[in-house]
Amino acid sequence: MTSENLNRRWLLDSRPPGEPSPKNFRWSEDPVPKPGDGEVLVRTIYLSLDPYMRGRMREARSFTSPVALGDVMTGGAVGVVDASENPDFEVGDIVEGRSGWQDYAVLPADELRRIDPDTAPISTAIGVLGMPGMTAYFGLLEVGKPGPGETVLVSAASGAVGGLVGQIAKINGCRAVGIAGSDAKCGYIVDELGYDAAINRKTENVAAALEKHCPDGIDVYFDNVGGTILDAALVHINMRARIVICGMISEYNLVEPELARRPTRILLTRRARMQGMLVFDYRDRYPEGLRQMARWIDEGRVKYKEDIVDGLENAPSAFIGLLRGENFGKRLIRVSEDPTVT
Amino acid sequence: MTSENLNRRWLLDSRPPGEPSPKNFRWSEDPVPKPGDGEVLVRTIYLSLDPYMRGRMREARSFTSPVALGDVMTGGAVGVVDASENPDFEVGDIVEGRSGWQDYAVLPADELRRIDPDTAPISTAIGVLGMPGMTAYFGLLEVGKPGPGETVLVSAASGAVGGLVGQIAKINGCRAVGIAGSDAKCGYIVDELGYDAAINRKTENVAAALEKHCPDGIDVYFDNVGGTILDAALVHINMRARIVICGMISEYNLVEPELARRPTRILLTRRARMQGMLVFDYRDRYPEGLRQMARWIDEGRVKYKEDIVDGLENAPSAFIGLLRGENFGKRLIRVSEDPTVT
């Protein structure tokens, strides 16, 4: 799919005020770059698409600087070393790094993580054994701090992060209730992932369904969506509940922020905590989290689902669809053939 | 001021939709009750007036059950034992307990705290050495967790709680910035209490003043007022900031909750925490907090200001004024003569 001579790239061409459109991205075909001293040239195999990328398209700084207009869209990826000017990496090594939406990236060696293709499919390095997996693991365990018998509510519960949060909650002896956007997703999280109950946010009254499926209230709400679902969840939180603010996909495309009741009265009377979490804050502990997730996968206690779209050319539409909830599982782009699949 | 034969009482007569009016309270003169076995009859000396009482006038349960219509208004008080059917208390003992808005209350002995009139003025048992003091102490230190060099912002900064929070912040090596409702209050918190800066919320643009007085951002916001001041403070919080939700006096009289931007985007990008606190959760640690506060008072490191209104008959108007911010310091009602003052 890649050309030996060209680096196909998606650049940010303009900033969308609301929902991104294909017009906001510009296709570019450039020479393949060469690694400098100590650097590595990586050919992209799988590109990760994640909701946080919408934030990078804004002008405002959020976690980090926005993508500049004319720059390649940012993104994590799994790739193969194509050329190396660093003794630690050899041509053919599988690595994970922040390649962006393009065929080739030159990256400093210390920003690459070596992936062993024998332990798991290499695509998992940007999924369950990568950023989304670590988000679920540290977000739930370190910020949510669920106790046995507690009720954990998860929104976007069939997504890359949410699908894992419910399973980790179950492993920790909790009741897991998920909110998702279709009957198929709801069936999947209950039947395949072991959620105790699922709420279809498109066909059910979420407030009434929360009342029904969280009869003992909510102790931990792992929030990936924000908006009115957060408002509804707040009503049902228990004393000393923990609300993990991990994402707010329902708000990313809003031109103007939505207004809502302040959550403070509920936080006060229930002595509850609402806390933002960013996975990179746990970077030093990734080895621990990755080891644990890999063990759970081996034991069959954690399952994951990938939603693979073929072809870099489809990245903008696949990303726009992700923001609409059209994905089913962790969405990624197969940019070039996976050499480890036989 | 009290009659030997009557128990004058303020009963809740109706629930105010917005700002309470004197009409919501009903004056009643009843026989003085008699203590049963194990109980103590306490004559009220000082009645505490606190913003949380507004919540007890609502129909909805908040921290605890509302005051029922026709029941005496709830409240903490310092009093003197007038009759005792419990061997642990003698007539003349000074005690603190939840007497309510009345001359006399029969209370179970295990709900009374004995006050030593030799250590501090007995009125402090419902102020700096009582509930407001413990709120400031545990709220700041256990929920706010301020570190040296950090900026602590406090609203209602000359009030019963806020006046103490800034001083405890200074003792802990922080920069303390207070928001208050008059130039006199602003002058007081800087000149007397040692705040580094003060913002008059009525005459200054709070957003601009925060920018000026918190040049390094806000690490801890101790929020007593909620509303638009909370919204303004959020804009300036730092990475990993802690927002202590202690009260929301600006919202207590609202008929309909105000709408505002959700705080979640800021909490997420700054990995900040917003947490409700209720002092009673720290009950087991009051001895530690009271010892420390008493030591700081002795050392001259913590000062406090009382705003005493004479006469139980004035309790409703003094309470309505408290909700308007007309008090200057800890507001209390002198219901009967303080026998320890010579």
| Beta-carbon contacts of residue A342 (< 8 Å; ≥ 6 apart) | none
Tokens of B142: 């256990």
Could you tell me if residue B147 is left (phi over 0), alpha (psi between -120 and 50 degrees) or otherwise beta?
Answer: beta
Q: Residue B316 pLDDT more than 80?
A: yes
Which of these, B180, B333, B164, lies nearest to B249 by C-alpha position?
B180
B197-200/B175-180 β-pairing = parallel
**For A139, which DSSP code?**
I
Q: Residue B250 pLDDT more than 50?
A: yes
Span of B1-15, B20-34, B264-278 with lowest mean pLDDT: B1-15
How much is the pLDDT for A25? 98
Quick count: other Cβ atoms within 10 Å of Cβ A301?
A: 14
If you count them, how many residues does chain B have?
Answer: 342
Distance from CA of A187 to the nearest CA of B (A): 29
What are residue A259's DSSP bridge partners?
Answer: B261
Q: Distance between CA B58 and CA B40 in Å, rounded?
A: 29
Q: Residue B3 pLDDT more than 60?
A: no
Per DSSP, the three-state class of A104 is: strand
Q: Residue B27 pLDDT more than 60?
A: yes
CA distances from B25 to B300, B313, B315 (A): 40, 11, 10
**For A291, which DSSP code?**
H
Considering CB atoms only, which of A263, A269, A281 is closest to B271? A281
10 Å CB burial of residue B92 (0-12, 13-18, 19+) is: exposed
Alpha-carbon dihedral angle through residues B100, B105, B106, B109, given to the nearest 10 degrees: 70
CB proximity B65 to A under 8 Å: no
Q: Distance between CA B84 and CA B248 in Å, rounded?
A: 39
To the nearest whole percent, how much of chain B has pLDDT over 90? 96
Instruction: Flag if A273 and B276 touch (Cβ within 8 Å).
Output: yes
In A85-236, the DSSP E strands lie at 94-97, 104-108, 113-114, 151-155, 175-180, 197-200, 218-223
Q: Residue A258's closest chain B neighbor by CA? A: B261
Q: Distance between CA A244 and CA A127 in Å, rounded?
A: 20
Q: Distance between CA A241 and CA A237 in Å, rounded?
A: 6
What are residue A275's DSSP bridge partners?
Answer: A244, B273
Which of these, A153, A57, A130, A262, lies nearest to B267 by C-alpha position?
A262
Q: Residue B266's closest chain A neighbor by CA? A: A276
Query: pTM (2 decimals)?
Result: 0.95
**For A278, which DSSP code?**
-
Q: Distance between CA B331 and CA B51 in Å, rounded?
A: 10
Instruction: Flag if B268 and A281 touch (Cβ within 8 Å).
Output: no
What are residue B180's DSSP bridge partners?
Answer: B200
Give contacts of B51 with chain A, Cβ < 8 Å: none
What are residue A47's DSSP bridge partners?
Answer: A77, A333
In A24-115, the DSSP E strands lie at 25-31, 39-48, 77-84, 94-97, 104-108, 113-114
Q: Distance between CA B268 and CA B148 in Å, rounded?
A: 24
pLDDT tens per residue across span A37-90 = 999 999 999 999 999 999 999 988 766 789 999 999 999 999 999 999 999 999
pLDDT tens per residue across span B112-165 = 999 999 999 999 999 999 999 999 999 999 999 999 999 999 999 999 999 999
How much is the pLDDT for A1? 45
**Backbone angles phi and psi of A59, in degrees to 5:** -75, -35
The answer to whether A49 touches A331, Cβ cutoff 8 Å, is: yes
Tell me chain B's radius of gyration from C-alpha atoms: 20
Considering CB atoms only, which of B245, B257, B266 is closest to A267? B245
How much is the pLDDT for B5? 79
Q: Distance between CA B342 and CA B334 in Å, rounded?
A: 15
**The dihedral sign for the CA sequence A273, A277, A283, A286:** positive
The answer to whether B139 touches B279, Cβ cutoff 8 Å, is: yes
pLDDT band (50, 70, 90) for residue B35:
very high
Which of these, A136, A113, A341, lies nearest to A222 by C-alpha position?
A136
How much is the pLDDT for A64? 77
| Beta-carbon contacts of residue B239 (< 8 Å; ≥ 6 apart) | B270, B271, B272
**The dihedral sign for the CA sequence B149, B153, B158, B162:** negative
Considering CB atoms only, which of B63, B230, B257 is closest to A261? B257
What are residue B218's DSSP bridge partners?
Answer: B237
10 Å CB burial of residue B189 (0-12, 13-18, 19+) is: buried
Distance from CA of A171 to the nearest CA of B (A): 26
**The dihedral sign for the CA sequence A196, A201, A203, A207:** positive
A77-84/A113-114 β-pairing = unpaired
- For chain A, list residues with pLDDT below 70: 1-4, 62-63
Count the alpha carbons within 13 Å of A178 in the hemisphere toward its beta carbon. Answer: 32
3-class SS letters over A183-210: HHHHHHHHHCCCCCEEEECCCCCHHHHH
Distance from CA of A238 to the nearest CA of B (A): 12
CB proximity A285 to B under 8 Å: no
Distance from CA of B199 to the nearest CA of A (A): 23
Its ipTM equals: 0.94
How much is the pLDDT for B1? 46
How much is the pLDDT for A178? 98
Tokens of A124: 């998992």
How much is the pLDDT for A245? 98
The answer to whether B84 touches B76, Cβ cutoff 8 Å, is: no
Amino acid at A186: C
How much is the pLDDT for A4? 63
Q: Residue A280's closest chain B neighbor by CA? A: B271
Q: Residue B64's closest chain A neighbor by CA? A: A269
| Beta-carbon contacts of residue A104 (< 8 Å; ≥ 6 apart) | A2, A7, A32, A33, A41, A42, A43, A44, A82
Which of these, A1, A2, A96, lies nearest to A40 by C-alpha position?
A96
CA distances from B28 to A317, B10, B80, B313 (A): 72, 6, 22, 11
Count the alpha carbons within 13 Å of B75 in the hemisphere toward its beta carbon. Answer: 36
Q: Distance between CA B152 and CA B10 in Å, rounded?
A: 38
Instruction: Flag if A267 and B276 touch (Cβ within 8 Å).
Output: yes
Instruction: Flag if A267 and B259 touch (Cβ within 8 Å).
Output: no
Which of these, A211, A206, A260, A261, lies nearest to A237 by C-alpha position?
A211
Which of these, B318, B335, B342, lies nearest to B43 by C-alpha position?
B335
- Which residue is it, tokens 């642990």? B88
- How much is the average pLDDT of B26-46? 97
Q: Distance between CA A237 and CA A249 in Å, rounded?
A: 21
